[in-house]
Structure 1
Amino acid sequence: MFRILLSLLTLMMAVPAQAETRVPQSQAEIGLGFAPVVKRAAPAVVNIYAKIVTEEQDNPFFSDPFFRDFFRGFGAPRPRERGSLGSGVILSDDGYVVSNYHVVGMASEIRVVTTDRREFGAQVVLGDEESDIAILRLEDADKLPSLSLRDSDLVEVGELVLAIGNPFGVGQTVSSGIVSGLARSGAATGNARGYFIQTDAPINPGNSGGALIDVNGDLIGINTSILSRSGGSNGIGFAIPANLVAEFLKQAKSGNEIFRRPWAGMAGQPMTADIAESLGLALPVGVVISELHPESPVSAAGLRVGDVITHVDGEEVNSPSEMKFRMSVSGIGGTSRLTHLRGGRAHEAKVDLIVAPDEPPSEETELDDRTVLPGLTVARLNPAVISRFGLPLMANGVIVLDPGPFGARAGLQPGDILAAINGEEILRPRDADKALTRPGRWVQVDLLRRGQRMSLRFRL
């Protein structure tokens, strides 16, 4: 009896005060596998069925990559409906769900199905194509199972993880693997850009928006993409870290319809061995500031071109996208602490986290019937517009927000930067209005599209 009591006392003393990640310690634990974790986490992962209606044009040249831009706008558009299949994760018991933007961002109808076969309608309350995150709100939902968000900065390479989702529409599926890498940037497909957790847990079409959890059942990331030549899993998958998801949820609950990310007002490049050697650095770490906007909060904090930013809020950064991620998870309104090198010495500066300023005024203007392109909507470039369209930091001039029916037929597209019309330089929206009021028999528009200069010429 004394031996039994002694054994129990020893076992109780060996149990940690708080749950910690560890490998199985006995044959009994190995036999259980991940079953207890899955039972706890799986009910918070949902299947998402979205209906997306797009307008496609009947034009024989539209599928040709060379002629597509020249003939865009010609031919009668026809609505076409397609389905989108994906997954989502319930973040709160009152019906907030996170998924990928590419799954639900453009949907006209969204249906969410839980593991117990309940169905809910849903609306996107906050979406961001760049981060590939969308926050949904389920209709008439309460007391739902949800997953806790883990601090993804504490995730380590080699941790055991589970991916839960609905691959190929076969039903909820669980796959296992490890964290293969951290701070992956520029590795995701589609429009998503940023900072990702890499895993070898099998992820397939339909897993998008599903959960990546640790062995305690906490959410560490949202599965978003894979690298594959065949379309199937090759063991290289990427997940959006939970810390960014937490900021999205916070903004969605605050009523934001557009994700507000801090604006650094700078351009930078990853450190290379050659640059490090030229700067007298022992190791190629950090981000070299290559350009600063006059209104940049980084510039206001005292940093200048040539400085090397090594840490944001104590976390190491080695690429512009990683720096952007670090500032984004801090949110608008506070400050970030930047550690930077200048002349071989380390310095610290506090940077205000602000949105891109709408100054000078964008002067958004829609041209009327006095012009040859009524309905064309243009705006003056400023930091807010540059940030919205992902343009070069120092871009200036006038941008096309909406080509209107006549502008579209002429070949104009949203995002085009107008350089000149009939040889007249366009610096303000009023310049475009004036040039298109009495242009003559021919109109020539010189513009910049995705970094390429081109001209459109049409007869009135």
Structure 2
Amino acid sequence: MLRNILIVPALALAVTAAPALAETQVPQSQAEISLSFVPLVKQATPAVVNIYASRVVEARSPFAGDPLFGNLFQDFRGRPRVQNSLGSGVILSGDGIVVSNYHVVGQATDIRVVLNNGAEYDAEVLLADEEADLAILKLEGAKDMPFLPLRDSDTVEVGELALAIGNPFGVGQTVSSGIVSGLARSGTATGNARGYFIQTDAPINPGNSGGALIDVKGQLIGVNTSILTRSGGSNGIGFAIPSALVQQFVEQAEAGKTSFERPWAGMTGQSVDADLSESLGMGLPGGVLISQLHAASPFARAGLDVGDVVLAVDGQGVNTPPEMLYRMSVTGLGHEARITYLHDGAQQEAKVAMIAAPDDPPQQRVTLDERAVLPGLTLARLNPAVQTELGMPLAGGEGVVVVDPGPWGARIGLQRGDLLRAVNGQGIEVPGDVDGLLKKAAPRIQIDAQRGNGRISLRFRV
């Protein structure tokens, strides 16, 4: 297709200005004569690997969730089975740092990485994050590995040529070409991944996950993660996680972190649509309206208030909360982001510190032992760090929250994120109160809790 596109202008120039064409466009290499991606592919493919991962999963009761038979078979324990996954990865350093998707290697117990020359390496996960669908691996005993340099994905533009390299359907390493067809795609990826993506029409199929999306210089601009399809095959709408976020993952993995830490905004917001922009007197829609601010929010400390509209982070426009979180994430913890916002109709700027969610007041996390009424129940005092961990809304209030109900807590109906208010009418102040209150209340116990915006009461006997 590329050759056909280029022949037409060449013929036209041959008729009107043949001498000039001969003087200025003499081919300088075999690559220019063949008009192919061969040199680029030879340069890039050694750094793209195939990943074979396996994990042991417990068999689930066929009656799980059934209102009639669920309780009867709640102790069902089937034989564990091995679940295999196939995907791709990209080597990012000579000592064997590899990036792939979480859904390829997450929770894997055995990971085998195969290079395109047939060499095989065992690998361990250094850092993984299900929400971003990214994982950083380290190849055991690797040295002098071929690797791809990272390009700043903020410099990528729509219309650039791009190559997708991976192992679709397990047939072996393949290369497909296309263009960057969209930027700032948020909320469109499948699975658990959320955030901000590069869209490409280079065919991406199952098994391409974790593979490379590169530019014409062989630089990594994104990690292939998903497709938008109705048939299960590639329809020309694929998504890649931008290299700027990959860079932050690598930096945190090399710093020894095992889970990805995102900057904490301490706010909730909503996209400004046409109706909202009109009511705010903005003219054109765009930005994120701040609807709620935590007292400890770095945005509040920088002078922003409820009703302000965040327009850009470090000069990059944001139109949805996921885009804003992405921009904060690529700025990185410990840095300051330049925030452009509207306050009372006037555009202003502020420097906002990128901080982790504060662990204040201290969470005082406890897990009840086997002598407790509800062994295995894990509790913590609610604070911004715990809210972030549990994915709770900002307006979660105060109190003692269930981090893990444990087997017995789950059996009586407790769920992760429940706020415990009282045991048999006695108020709960800190996590350490719960064990004693339960023992004191036995054998007839009532736990009052808050779940979301509602109140629940759980009654049981021990």
Same fold, judged at TM 0.5 (above): yes
Higher alpha-carbon deviation: 248-257 or 334-343: 248-257
Residues 48 and 71 (structure 1 numbering): CA distance in 2 closer, same or farther, change over 3 Å?
A: farther
Tell whether 2:42 aligns with 1:49: no
Residues 68 and 453 (structure 1 numbering): CA distance in 2 closer, same or farther, change over 3 Å?
A: farther
Residues 150 and 412 (structure 1 numbering): CA distance in 2 closer, same or farther, change over 3 Å?
A: same
Residues 207 and 449 (structure 1 numbering): CA distance in 2 closer, same or farther, change over 3 Å?
A: farther
2-side partners of 1:283 and 1:246: how far apart? Answer: 33
TM-score (structure 2 length as normaliser): 0.88
Residues 331 and 272 (structure 1 numbering): CA distance in 2 closer, same or farther, change over 3 Å?
A: same
SS of the aligned residue for 2:327 comes to helix
Residues 346 and 171 (structure 1 numbering): CA distance in 2 closer, same or farther, change over 3 Å?
A: same
For 1:357, the aligned partner's letter is P
2-side partners of 1:254 and 1:71: how far apart? Answer: 48
SS of the aligned residue for 1:432 comes to helix
Residue pairs, 1:341-420, within 5 angstroms? 341-369=342-370, 371-396=372-397, 397-420=399-422
Kindly provide the CA deviation profile for residues 256-296 of structure 1, in whole angstroms up to 9, marking residues without a partner as x.
22212211111111111111111111111111001111110
TM-superposed CA distance for 1:431, in Å, is: 4.1
TM-superposed CA distance for 1:423, in Å, is: 5.1
TM-superposed CA distance for 1:382, in Å, is: 0.7
SS of the aligned residue for 1:62 comes to coil
User: Higher RCO, 1 or 2 (CA under 8 Å, sep at least 6)?
Assistant: 1
- Whether the 8 Å contact between 1:317 and 1:323 is mirrored in structure 2 is yes
Tell whether 2:43 aligns with 1:40: yes
2-side partners of 1:179 and 1:119: how far apart? Answer: 32
- Whether the 8 Å contact between 1:264 and 1:296 is mirrored in structure 2 is yes
TM-superposed CA distance for 1:354, in Å, is: 0.8
1-side partners of 2:451 and 2:225: how far apart? Answer: 29
Residues 189 and 108 (structure 1 numbering): CA distance in 2 closer, same or farther, change over 3 Å?
A: same
SS of the aligned residue for 1:429 comes to coil
For 1:53, the aligned partner's letter is V
Residue pairs, 1:4-403, within 5 angstroms? 29=32, 31-57=34-60, 59-62=61-64, 74-76=75-77, 78-369=79-370, 371-396=372-397, 397-403=399-405
1-side partners of 2:385 and 2:204: how far apart? Answer: 36
Residues 309 and 70 (structure 1 numbering): CA distance in 2 closer, same or farther, change over 3 Å?
A: farther
TM-superposed CA distance for 1:456, in Å, is: 4.5
SS of the aligned residue for 1:321 comes to helix
TM-superposed CA distance for 1:356, in Å, is: 0.6
TM-superposed CA distance for 1:170, in Å, is: 0.6
Kindly provide the CA deviation profile for residues 361-405 of structure 1, in whole angstroms up to 9, marking residues without a partner as x.
101012245531122111111111111121101213322223233
TM-superposed CA distance for 1:317, in Å, is: 0.8
SS of the aligned residue for 1:56 comes to coil
TM-superposed CA distance for 1:29, in Å, is: 3.5
Residues 423 and 27 (structure 1 numbering): CA distance in 2 closer, same or farther, change over 3 Å?
A: farther
- Whether the 8 Å contact between 1:183 and 1:322 is mirrored in structure 2 is yes
1:429 maps to 431
TM-superposed CA distance for 1:33, in Å, is: 1.9
2-side partners of 1:276 and 1:25: how far apart? Answer: 55
Residues 85 and 364 (structure 1 numbering): CA distance in 2 closer, same or farther, change over 3 Å?
A: same
2-side partners of 1:30 and 1:428: how far apart? Answer: 74
TM-superposed CA distance for 1:445, in Å, is: 4.1
Residues 98 and 315 (structure 1 numbering): CA distance in 2 closer, same or farther, change over 3 Å?
A: same
For 2:56, the aligned partner's letter is V
TM-superposed CA distance for 1:425, in Å, is: 5.0
2-side partners of 1:292 and 1:451: how far apart? Answer: 19
SS of the aligned residue for 2:432 comes to helix
Higher alpha-carbon deviation: 415-424 or 75-84: 415-424
SS of the aligned residue for 1:46 comes to strand
> How many percent identity over aligned positions?
62
Residues 449 and 193 (structure 1 numbering): CA distance in 2 closer, same or farther, change over 3 Å?
A: farther
TM-score (structure 1 length as normaliser): 0.89
Higher alpha-carbon deviation: 111-120 or 430-439: 430-439
For 2:57, the aligned partner's letter is T
TM-superposed CA distance for 1:412, in Å, is: 3.5
- Whether the 8 Å contact between 2:180 and 2:198 is mirrored in structure 1 is yes
Tell whether 2:460 aligns with 1:458: yes
Residues 313 and 455 (structure 1 numbering): CA distance in 2 closer, same or farther, change over 3 Å?
A: same
**Cα root mean square deviation, aligned:** 2.9
SS of the aligned residue for 2:401 comes to strand
- Whether the 8 Å contact between 2:64 and 2:74 is mirrored in structure 1 is no
2-side partners of 1:319 and 1:343: how far apart? Answer: 21
Residues 371 and 191 (structure 1 numbering): CA distance in 2 closer, same or farther, change over 3 Å?
A: same
1-side partners of 2:319 and 2:39: how far apart? Answer: 38
TM-superposed CA distance for 1:102, in Å, is: 1.1
TM-superposed CA distance for 1:56, in Å, is: 2.8
Residues 282 and 61 (structure 1 numbering): CA distance in 2 closer, same or farther, change over 3 Å?
A: same
